[in-house]
Amino acid sequence: KQEVTQIPAALSVPEGENLVLNCSFTDSAIYNLQWFRQDPGKGLTSLLLIQSSQREQTSGRLNASLDKSSGRSTLYIAASQPGDSATYLCAVMGVLYGNNRLAFGKGNQVVVIP
Amino acid sequence: NAGVTQTPKFRILKIGQSMTLQCTQDMNHNYMYWYRQDPGMGLKLIYYSVGAGITDKGEVPNGYNVSRSTTEDFPLRLELAAPSQTSVYFCASSYADRGRPLHFGNGTRLTVT
């Protein structure tokens, strides 16, 4: 079974600092890895999707890297803003869990302090 | 473009009652999913469907049923509500393409008392 871990569960950073969020997964036979954002009381919004053949994806201030061999992905958010406060979830689609299904981590709850 | 629409937003049920959570998407997505989210536990897959007429169990299917008669709709049925089913339920959908992301609805917050 694919296990997805995100540590720490919660963190606070001052505005303007770069945010670094880590995701680890146990099985490297993956099809893709996705990062989502969740605001309180809302659904999940897709931020970035990295396919297994890719090493990174970028969108604006967001950059996500993927290292399949070590079972890790990192989400970088440059020059954080209070509006970046949210929970960020990592999810993996892989062979072990079924090729149409995502296994989710529990998320990193981020607070950006003005 | 409405995306994934879930109704109702909130519901309180008594133990033993039944209800259907509605989910519809207007993006012509083949794949649809039901997840539940409990505090500190992440998202757990209940059921999913890869197309009309095809459904399959996820990690936590007990106590739930689904059907997929059209591409657009994927209702989740709770037959005999139990307190353990108190949770936030999310419906999601995607294209049949591993390079395309999941789209989520805004969730249904269900309390069983």
pLDDT per residue as tens digits for the range B47-79: 999 999 999 999 999 999 999 999 999 999 998
Please tell me the predicted confidence (pLDDT) of residue A1.
77
Mean model confidence pLDDT for chain B:
94
Please tell me the predicted confidence (pLDDT) of residue A99.
67
Interchain CB distance below 8 Å, A43 and B50: no
Mean model confidence pLDDT for chain A:
94
Residue that wins the pLDDT comparison between A28 and A64:
A64
Of residues B4, B50, B104, nearest to A100 (C-beta): B50
The span from the CA of B26 to the CA of B74, in Å, is 12
Q: Which of B101, B67, B44 is nearest to A97 (CA)?
A: B44
Rounding to the nearest 10 degrees, give the CA dihedral for residues A89, A80, A53, A39.
30
Report which residue type is found at A18.
N
Please tell me the predicted confidence (pLDDT) of residue B39.
85
CA atoms within 13 A on the CB side of B50: 10
pLDDT per residue as tens digits for the range A16-32: 999 999 999 998 889 99
User: What confidence category does residue B26 fall into, taking pLDDT thresholds of 50, 70 and 90?
Assistant: very high
The span from the CA of A92 to the CA of A73, in Å, is 10
User: What confidence category does residue B1 fall into, taking pLDDT thresholds of 50, 70 and 90?
Assistant: low
Report which residue type is found at B17.
Q
Asked if B105 and B2 touch (Cβ cutoff 8 Å), the reply is: no
- Residue A14 CB neighbour total at 10 angstroms: 9
High-pLDDT (> 70) share of chain A, %: 99
Q: Taking CB atoms and an 8 Å cut-off, how many pairs form between chains A and B?
A: 54
Q: Which of A111, A112, A103, A113 is nearest to A6 (CA)?
A: A103
Residue that wins the pLDDT comparison between B97 and B15:
B15
Kind of pairing, strands A62-67 and A56-59? antiparallel
Helix (H) and strand (E) counts in chain A: 0, 11
| Shortest Cα distance, chain A CAs vs residue B52, angstroms | 15
The span from the CA of A20 to the CA of A39, in Å, is 18
Question: A103 has which bridge partners?
Answer: A92
**Does a cis peptide bond (omega within 30 degrees of 0) precede residue B39?**
no
Quickly tell me which residue has 């290292």 as its tokens.
A67
Of residues B48, B58, B106, nearest to A43 (C-beta): B106
pLDDT per residue as tens digits for the range A78-103: 999 999 999 999 999 987 777 688 99
Rounded to an integer, the average pLDDT of B19-47 is 94
- Pair of tokens at residue A61: 């201030």
Chain A residues with CB-CB distance to B31 below 8 A: 100
Q: Which of A90, A110, A93 is nearest to B97 (CA)?
A: A93
- Pair of tokens at residue B110: 């269900």
Please tell me the predicted confidence (pLDDT) of residue B108.
97
